[in-house]
Amino acid sequence: MIAAIGKNNGLGKDNDLIWHLPDDFKRFKQLTTGHKIIMGRKTFESFPKPLPNRTHIIITRDKNYTVDFSSCIVVFSIKEALDLVRDDTLAYIIGGGEIYDLGMPYADVLEITRVHESFEADTFFPHIDEKLWKLTKEEFHPRDERHKHEFTYLTYQRRLKTKTP
């Protein structure tokens, strides 16, 4: 899973990001390009168009939902989405909050950008239980002329065996 989250685990508000962090966007692009990305319908609809060089797996409850892009696949459950990436060496769950909740038991790595402020949000990332997750990498990014907020890239590895769908 990959996410940028505030100190209070806030992800977004009104189906939009709360902050603008160009270096985090660059990191997201670098990590996810060439891979399948799993997301909820609202997250997909928050993009102006599909992200290039990625296969989008969109989870929705709406059985009539369709998209007209060849890089997009619509499914109706987290299990269906995970079945589509079962043989891939790497795929990412990219949100939103409900999809992160559904995907957390199946993830084996968390790529987190922790923004060092709390924000008013209506969507939240699930709690990261330190008994289940081990922090393996940490890289601090200070506030600067392009970034209004300090943040840290955090990589967590699952300590215990993951579930299979």
User: What CATH number is associated with residue 51?
Assistant: 3.40.430.10
Residue 163: inside a domain:
no
Residue 42: inside a domain:
yes
Average pLDDT over residues 64-71: 95
Q: What is the pLDDT of residues 102-130, one digit of tens each?
A: 999 999 999 999 999 999 999 999 999 99
Residue 47: inside a domain:
yes
Query: How much is the pTM?
Result: 0.93
Distance of alpha carbon 143 from alpha carbon 156, whole angstroms: 23
Residue 165: inside a domain:
no
Residue 40: inside a domain:
yes
Distance of alpha carbon 145 from alpha carbon 141, whole angstroms: 12
CA distances to 39, 55, 76, 83 from 5, rounded to whole Å, are: 16, 24, 26, 27
Predicted confidence at residue 17, as pLDDT, reads 87
Residue 130: inside a domain:
yes
Predicted confidence at residue 160, as pLDDT, reads 72
Residue 164: inside a domain:
no
Predicted confidence at residue 86, as pLDDT, reads 95
pLDDT above 90 for 163 = no
Residue 89: inside a domain:
yes
Q: How confident is the model at residue 162 (pLDDT cuts 50, 70, 90)?
A: low
Domain count, the chain: 1
> Taking a C-beta distance cutoff of 8 angstroms, is the pair 56, 73 a contact?
yes
Domain enclosing residue 74, as ranges: 2-158
